A = this chain, B = another copy of it.
Amino acid sequence: MSFNFKITHTSGSARRGEMQTPHGSVETPAFMPVGTQGAVKAVTHRDLDALGAQIMLSNTYHLYLRPGADRIARLGGLHKFIAWNKPILTDSGGYQVFSLAARRKVHEHGVTFRSHLDGSEHLLTPEIAVDVQAQLGSDVAMVLDECVEHPASHERARDSLALTLRWARRGREHFLKRYREPFSEASGEKGSRYLFSNPGQAQFGIIQGGTFPDLRAASVEGTAAIGFEAYAIGGLSVGEPIPLMYDITEQTAALLPADRPRYLMGVGTPVDLVESAARGIDLFDCVLPTRNARNGQLFTSQGRLNIKNAEFADDDRPLDPECGCYTCGHFSRAYLRHLFNANEMTSGTLNTLHNLHFYLDTMRRIREAIVFATLEELRQSYRRIFPSQPLNNND
């Protein structure tokens, strides 16, 4: 079973579709919970299953450093290692190299950096990013790109984009040559240098270009010319104004091949999901629902709620009376506030179950709204529920 994408309904720019992968299909628009180190923080896989998560994102940088991609390959690949049988998307490792690692230095060849764990020196190149993700055997691999700082000048963004395009070409060539040509050395057999490869793995290109429409257009043109299974929009939700993020998303999405999934990386708030799906985005990932949950910040049908607040100390109502999650079905705000204040681990678990339920339910509502052409009502409803400036994932 290999990668495929089929659009079943459209409504304006929005698309309802189905993304086929070697480990099953994903209804789009879809949100991918983030399992950084091969586990979504505070919840078990069976919880994710029950919540209706259809795909997980995992971070190559973290897994490469610990427990190591070689080890995961020897143990049969990431799906087997973490015992998650549904689709997995892995990033290239680049984002964490640029945000977490120490003493990084970008060359034409790639980027050298020191591990944030033990200071050991490593090299990441477009080819290595491909090889490592082949070892992991994810269903979707991302090509290595350069992440520019925000704000960046037009010149800086242009130069960075040029490098990203050269890296994209190298990454794609390496992917096709080593993992797609018949009788390649990476057939997945034990004993070969590359112990594991998911033969149906797809590779997504990444659109960069900062907040400059001309560079975004050039990025789409160059990246689509290389040709990937699908395309992601990177470099957004990094501090730019939200309306600008929506504008760039809208312009870029409109230029991308209509028959391929569009993935908006690292976005976003519930409003961002609805607004971006309306602009033609099919895939999302963000740490917001899980990280905020552990910090006591909850998303509800009545807006945001901070469980730390004293007003909830004697509140015996559920977080969200309209929510069908395990947490809302059983526990009061007073108890959840107590668990948070008492630093109980189940605080993180119960809050995460709720926030992920809210996010995955938002995606179900988006998909339904596309089918029934009610996306405009859903947008207005989410804008009413979350009237303030949407949270950025860097908050």
A: which residues have CB within 8 A of B? Answer: 37-46, 62, 66-67, 71, 74-76, 81-83, 313-314, 316, 326, 330-332, 334-335, 337-339, 341-342, 344-346, 348-350
Report yes or no: B316 in contact with A76, Cβ–Cβ below 8 A. yes
Nearest CB of chain B from residue A147's CB, rounded to whole Å: 23
Nearest CB of chain B from residue A350's CB, rounded to whole Å: 7
Nearest CB of chain B from residue A120's CB, rounded to whole Å: 15
Name the B residues within 8 Å of A348 (CB-CB): 345
Report yes or no: B81 in contact with A39, Cβ–Cβ below 8 A. no
Name the B residues within 8 Å of A67 (CB-CB): 313, 334, 337-338, 341
Give the residue name and chain of the B residue nearest to A68 (CB): B313
Give the residue name and chain of the B residue nearest to A74 (CB): B314
Nearest CB of chain B from residue A247's CB, rounded to whole Å: 38
Name the B residues within 8 Å of A349 (CB-CB): 42, 44, 345, 349
- Complex formed: what's the CA distance from A39 to B345 in Å? 9
Name the B residues within 8 Å of A41 (CB-CB): 344-346
Give the residue name and chain of the B residue nearest to A344 (CB): B39
Report yes or no: A330 in contact with B71, Cβ–Cβ below 8 A. no
- Complex formed: what's the CA distance from A81 to B83 in Å? 35
Counting every copy of the chain, the complex holds 2
- Complex formed: what's the CA distance from A46 to B330 in Å? 10
- Complex formed: what's the CA distance from A316 to B316 in Å? 45
Nearest CB of chain B from residue A66's CB, rounded to whole Å: 6
From B75, B332, B350, give the contact of A334 (CB < 8 A): B75
Name the B residues within 8 Å of A330 (CB-CB): 45, 83
Nearest CB of chain B from residue A195's CB, rounded to whole Å: 12
Name the B residues within 8 Å of A337 (CB-CB): 67
Name the B residues within 8 Å of A82 (CB-CB): 335
Report yes or no: A75 in contact with B314, Cβ–Cβ below 8 A. yes
From B45, B62, B335, B344, give the contact of A83 (CB < 8 A): B335
Report yes or no: A42 in contact with B332, Cβ–Cβ below 8 A. no
From B37, B339, B344, B350, give the contact of A338 (CB < 8 A): B37
Report yes or no: A42 in contact with B326, Cβ–Cβ below 8 A. no
Report yes or no: B81 in contact with A334, Cβ–Cβ below 8 A. yes
Name the B residues within 8 Å of A83 (CB-CB): 330-332, 335
Q: Knowing that A38-B342, A75-B314, A83-B330 are A-B contacts, what are 11 other residue pairs whose CB atoms are under 8 Å apart, sorted by A's residue number?
A: A39-B342, A39-B346, A42-B349, A43-B346, A44-B326, A62-B342, A67-B313, A71-B314, A74-B314, A81-B334, A83-B332
Report yes or no: A338 in contact with B44, Cβ–Cβ below 8 A. no
What are 12 A-B interface contacts by the 8 Å CB criterion? A37-B344, A38-B342, A40-B346, A41-B345, A43-B346, A46-B326, A66-B338, A67-B338, A71-B314, A75-B316, A81-B335, A83-B330
The 10 tightest CB contacts between A and B, nearest first, are A37-B342, A67-B338, A42-B345, A39-B346, A83-B330, A39-B344, A83-B331, A41-B345, A75-B316, A75-B334
Given contacts A38-B338, A67-B341, A326-B46, whether A81 and B332 have CB atoms under 8 Å apart is yes
- Complex formed: what's the CA distance from A326 to B47 in Å? 12
Given contacts A67-B313, A75-B316, A334-B81, whether A44 and B350 have CB atoms under 8 Å apart is yes
Name the B residues within 8 Å of A43 (CB-CB): 346
- Complex formed: what's the CA distance from A339 to B82 in Å? 10
Report yes or no: B334 in contact with A38, Cβ–Cβ below 8 A. no
Most buried by B among A38, A45, A62, A67: A67
